[in-house]
Amino acid sequence: MSYGSPGERPTQTAPAVIWYRRAWIAVVLIPVFFILAFAVGQGLYSLMGYQPGLGIPMWVDLVATVPTIAVFLVPCTAAVLYGKRVNGVGDRRGLVPLGIGALAGLGLTVLNIVTIINDHL
């Protein structure tokens, strides 16, 4: 039984709704953080006096790649955590941002690791 007026729409202020919005905001920020991470990686290479490519020592690749991955994983991790919270309270809509954040973060991390290994074999 509802006690509101007949023309009034109910508002949802449950934590699941807030977490769901935050999860999608994190997903929307993934491309922005990708560009920011790319700039961080290129900046670190140039600060150390190298151009990305072949013939770079492994330690230079690691010093440039670890912060790059860390910057990119910020919105991915947020999307996964907020999506998991939404799913944890029984709202399955949280699985979509969770999956997008997990795939994007895992994809870039694996791509960077494979690139470093391939360059130094």
Domain contains 7: no
Total domain count for the chain? 1
Residue 14 has pLDDT above 90, yes or no: no
* Inside any domain, residue 98: yes
64: in domain: yes
Residue 28 included in any domain:
yes
Burial (CB count within 10 angstroms: exposed 0-12, middle 13-18, buried 19+), residue 114: exposed
d(CA 83, CA 87): 6
Provide the 8-state DSSP code for 94: G
| Domain presence at residue 23 | yes
Q: Domain range spanning residue 111?
A: 16-119
- Confidence check: pLDDT of 10 > 50: no
29 occurs within a structural domain: yes
Tell me the whole-structure pTM to 2 decimals. 0.82
Summarised one tens digit per residue, pLDDT across range 19-46 is 999 999 999 999 999 999 999 999 999 9
